[in-house]
Structure 1
């Protein structure tokens, strides 16, 4: 369901003491699907993955945006002369972000920008301490995102310079969620996002190739898919949505995404959505988690886990007709509290990446949090 269909009224009782927050129903925007971690032939460890192949696949699957994030260490930081300058790096229907995978001894991070920036300067500062690196990131104006923080390349830069964190990497790895929850509990508001980290396209007919090239049959563009609720369909709006946490993650673009809302005064009007920070006054709040899209089998019920401050607070199932779950809780006055949800069940089929529904468990979708008493 579009946010605009969820109500129009404000919440006068809370507006007097909380920061001004436009009710959900008054927010215009569009849900766009995309992938924020992809490697083309400009990454030396990729196989049969030309930019044209990636973009054509994404266009066919109805994506709205992509970030092709090749390893900067493979080109000594000169991604502007390689990935960005590739004649294939263009699309009439996709928003293509400018970025790369910052590939260092201290871990990996993705950079995202609406326009070209001086990535060479970032690469040259890869061994600088955080006191030098943080101002550079701010000066470059990039969205800085930690990659697979608990993988073999653990992220050891300061999280105080991070705008988002990859909590779902490839078709199966979600170990970054633990790091994310710890950061959120510490009072940081950091967006959770996904990324396929796909390196390998399908081999051409009759061409010999290594086994890695077959990864595309279970892990390719959009496994998982990151969705952003953007004010418009342009690159700056995609970045703004990432910055603000208006983000949901699904197993693939054909499956359902989950949207989380809060009715602060239980009047039937949704006042807050993912990424919002609101005040808690010790009064009950009604929440709604709703699945949108997917659900190709009518009557399918999904398992819903509600996390409160990183711990399982409620386990339930969606309504088979509406795909929604409604629950209530009382966030304590004067204490930081956040809520997010995960959805498990049968994953929808993904044409062209057919084995992905059978690999990596049954996680279907994940929301970003709604925050109480954070700022």
Structure 2
């Protein structure tokens, strides 16, 4: 981990990035500005990256990062010659150590179109599982390919071609993730839906990076809209996050684990992590210390027999949901049901349990619900779960067609009606967020 005292440019990076403590966010989710005091506070927080103890209620949940790069990626250099990439990016051994220092249970190094890191001498750890993979530069977007030890070749210029490539990945036991689908920095997702991928990176780099407010941004609020629209269409996809860590200079504000993806993988083995993602047993948090959140549900009886990622049978028009939150006192937690903000409350204790009943739209082929934890201002995202799903017979449904818009907002662009928080709500009532209803 880079020592802050050894990098004189670090304070300038913190000022320029607007990476201020959460308390400095305005109510509407914009940045209030990085003062010298704010920079001091953030530097102090970054000085100790050690993880907090995990509560017993989250046993089996494994923290890690599914999206980070090393000097093996072509874009870690600040000059076109790339003669000394280690001065800009991290070596394989350094990224592994960065993850170990934060108490991670797994790490996936996702260099662009190469698995060279897996052959490096530094690709080893006695403290965490290394998940093989890479980031595939597709014709119309980027995808993380995991659980593999080689790069898959083939055309990706059409939905069918991409589905064919993903079929080979799945046959070999791997999975695919739609990476930063609404970014203004790299490549937006331009395919007609998830096209056979298993998860969506709903949180890339810092949550607050929006191109309409900062010029460049991962636009996570739009990625979450797209994700919800896919769920509405009948898809079942895991929600994941990734730091997309590339460079030493941005490590203070976008290093490994910001955000962190938690996967339910009791054994902690790399194959178990991949299976957990494939099963949708995930949640994403601000960093390696959380907050932690999960949901359980029941549609009949007294036992909460459905967990994140499960597909259950729908009985009637209601479902009971239990939300468990750790390390988020004073925050807000809310339930999103079929794209609607259905319930919300304040987290009042360090280990918080909230039981409530939500209403289901009975005319839908598939119902789904997930939880979000937000900062006290109700605008800054702190954690997101994957959903629980319900259908009439407890079986998967055939997804409906869904279009993926490719435009991203320009810097200074006027907000859409209802865009009152960092999740970019899309209707004046501030509830409905499926992008095809704009």
Give TM-score, length-normalised by structure 2: 0.66
Q: What is the deviation of 1:134? A: 4.1
1:67 deviates by 0.5
**Residue 20 of structure 1 corresponds to which residue in structure 2?**
none
For 1:271, the equivalent position in structure 2 comes to 305
Query: Are positions 1:324 and 2:356 aligned together?
Result: no
Q: Which moved more, 1:125-134 or 1:63-72?
A: 125-134
Superposed CA deviations along residues 207-244 of structure 1, whole A, max 9, x for unmatched, are: xxxxxx2x111110100000001131111110110001
Q: Does 1:363 align with 2:381?
A: yes
Distance 1:308 1:341 in 2: 9
SS of equivalent to 1:160: coil
Shift of residue 333, structure 1, vs aligned partner: 5.0
Partner-residue secondary structure (3-state), 1:83: helix
C-alpha distance in structure 2 between counterparts of 1:367 and 1:94, whole Å: 23
Q: By how many angstroms is 1:166 displaced?
A: 0.4
1:156–1:142 distance in 2 versus 1, CA, 3 Å: farther
Which of 52, 61, 72 is residue 102 of structure 2 equivalent to? 61
Q: Contact 1:346 / 1:364 at 8 angstroms: preserved in 2? A: no
Match of 2:336 in 1: 307
- Asked whether 1:372 is paired with 2:413, we answer no
Q: How far did residue 112 of structure 1 move?
A: 0.4
Contact 2:155 2:162 in 1 (8 A): no
Aligned partners of 1:218, 1:346: CA distance in 2, in Å? Answer: 21
Q: 1:345 to 1:331 in 2, by over 3 A?
A: same
In structure 2, distance between residues paired with 1:131 and 1:34: 27
> Cα offset for 1:200?
1.2
> 3-state SS of the aligned residue for 2:132?
strand
Residues 189 and 40 (structure 1 numbering): CA distance in 2 closer, same or farther, change over 3 Å? Answer: same
State the alpha-carbon separation in 2 of the partners of residues 131 and 159 from structure 1.
9
**Partners of 1:124 and 1:372 in 2: CA distance:** 36
Distance 2:128 2:376 in 1: 29
Partners in 2 of 1:109 and 1:330 — Cα distance? 35
Deviation (angstroms), 1:160: 2.9
Aligned-pair CA distance for 1:321: 5.4
**2: CA distance, partners of 1:371 / 1:131:** 24
Q: Secondary structure at the match of 1:108?
A: strand
CA contact (8 A) 2:343 2:358 kept: no
Instruction: Give the count of matched residue pairs.
Output: 309
**How far apart in 2 are the matches of 1:239 and 1:126?**
23
Aligned counterparts of 1:283 and 1:311: Cα–Cα separation in 2: 15
Which residues of structure 2 form unaligned runs of 5+?
Answer: 1-54, 77-87, 208-217, 397-438
Counterparts in 2 of 1:303 and 1:44: CA distance versus 1, 3 Å: same
Q: Which residue of 1 aligns with 2:75?
A: 45
The more displaced of 141-150 and 218-227 is 141-150
Given candidates 209, 230, 234, the residue that maps to 1:183 is 230
Name the CA distance, whole Å, in 2 between partners of 1:165 and 1:187. Answer: 15
Instruction: Name 2:173's counterpart in structure 1.
Output: 141
Deviation at 1:44, TM superposition (A): 2.4
Q: Matched residue of 1:35: which SS?
A: strand
Q: Tell me if structure 2 keeps the 8 A contact 1:102–1:123.
A: no
Moved more, 272-281 or 325-334: 325-334
Pair 1:34-2:64 in alignment: yes
Distance change (3 Å), C-alpha of 1:337 and 1:98: same
Q: Distance in 2 between matches of 1:313 and 1:331?
A: 10
Task: Identify if the C-alpha distance between structure 1 residues 261 and 171 changes in structure 2 by more than 3 Å, giving closer, same or farther.
Answer: same
CA-atom RMSD in angstroms:
2.2
Whether the aligned pair in 2 keeps the contact of 1:31 and 1:227 (CA below 8 Å) is yes
Quote the offset at 1:266 in angstroms: 5.5
Q: Does 1:258 align with 2:293?
A: yes
Q: TM-score, normalised by structure 1?
A: 0.77
